[in-house]
Amino acid sequence: MLEPLIHLRKVEKRYANGVRALHDVSLDVKRGEVLCIVGPSGSGKSTLLRALNGLESITGGEVVVDGFAVHDHRTNLNALRRRVGMVFQQFNLFPHKTALENVMLAPTTVLDVPAADARARAQALLDKVGLGDRGASYPAQLSGGQQQRVAIARALAMQPDVMLFDEPTSALDPEKVGEVLDVMRQLAREGMTMLVVTHEMGFARAVAHRVIFMDGGEIVYQDAPEGFFGAPRNERLKAFLGQILK
């Protein structure tokens, strides 16, 4: 592989009140790689993910995504964000639009795709996430799992190079988690580059190429799943896994 798709070097994030959210984070992600990020809450996982598309600004270091220097204030972040899809814990679907309109909105407004084309593509994406028959439903009429699948379709509608998942199943009822993970598993099989912040260790073990453990704003440990979940040589990770897998 040539250039990494995502390149982070010595990234720092410190809030105005002095709290350190990220410290000395360096990371390279290749095209097609599936990366899971785990760690206790407040460890900086979400902040790291949000730094990748500029939703969170950083205070030091470099973030380069898909050729865009995110840390540079001259970079057009809107152009970057067209190439980077994001899925949120709380879905954040647009409640005043139907499922189909949610998926169509960005392509029609940002890329000026003709409505008919956008509609056809949105329908195909809803089919893909198993909701082809729910296009006319409003978010409030859908279950959490269905909403999150629409949210994934919405992000895919921009045909991104990378997909960022910020705890996509944490707000779901346990029985709805599987349907969302299935969609993500299928995406991974298709070769999508994915960064997934998650507590679903089973998913990380089965799908990820690499798992990263963060604590206190730092990357403490990273390894392929076999090593990560097998015999990690790190006490903090061992303690964390002990807690989670209990």
Using CB under 8 A, list all residues that contact other proteins.
Answer: 53, 55, 78-79, 81-82, 84-86, 88, 90, 92-96, 105-106, 109-110, 138, 140-141, 151, 154-155, 158
Q: Cβ 201 to other proteins, closest distance in Å?
A: 26
List Cβ neighbours of 69 (8 Å cut-off, separation of 6 or more). Answer: 62, 63, 75
Instruction: Name which of 84 and 237 has its Cβ closer to other proteins.
Output: 84
**How far apart are alpha carbons 245 and 32 in whole angstroms?**
28
List Cβ neighbours of 162 (8 Å cut-off, separation of 6 or more). Answer: 5, 6, 52, 65, 66, 83, 84, 85, 192, 193, 194, 195
Instruction: Name which of 110 and 201 has its Cβ closer to other proteins.
Output: 110
**How far apart are alpha carbons 200 and 234 in whole angstroms?**
20
Q: Cβ 129 to other proteins, closest distance in Å?
A: 16
CA atoms within 13 A on the CB side of 133: 0
**How far apart are alpha carbons 141 and 149 in whole angstroms?**
14
Instruction: Name which of 103 and 177 has its Cβ closer to other proteins.
Output: 103
Instruction: Name which of 101 and 223 has its Cβ closer to other proteins.
Output: 101
Instruction: Name which of 1 and 16 has its Cβ closer to other proteins.
Output: 16
Q: Cβ 75 to other proteins, closest distance in Å?
A: 13
Give me 138's structure tokens: 């409003």
Are 119 and 82 contacting, i.e. CB atoms less than 8 angstroms apart? no
Q: Cβ 50 to other proteins, closest distance in Å?
A: 8
Q: Cβ 25 to other proteins, closest distance in Å?
A: 20
Are 65 and 18 contacting, i.e. CB atoms less than 8 angstroms apart? no
Q: Cβ 242 to other proteins, closest distance in Å?
A: 33
Instruction: Name which of 37 and 106 has its Cβ closer to other proteins.
Output: 106
**How far apart are alpha carbons 80 and 30 in whole angstroms?**
17
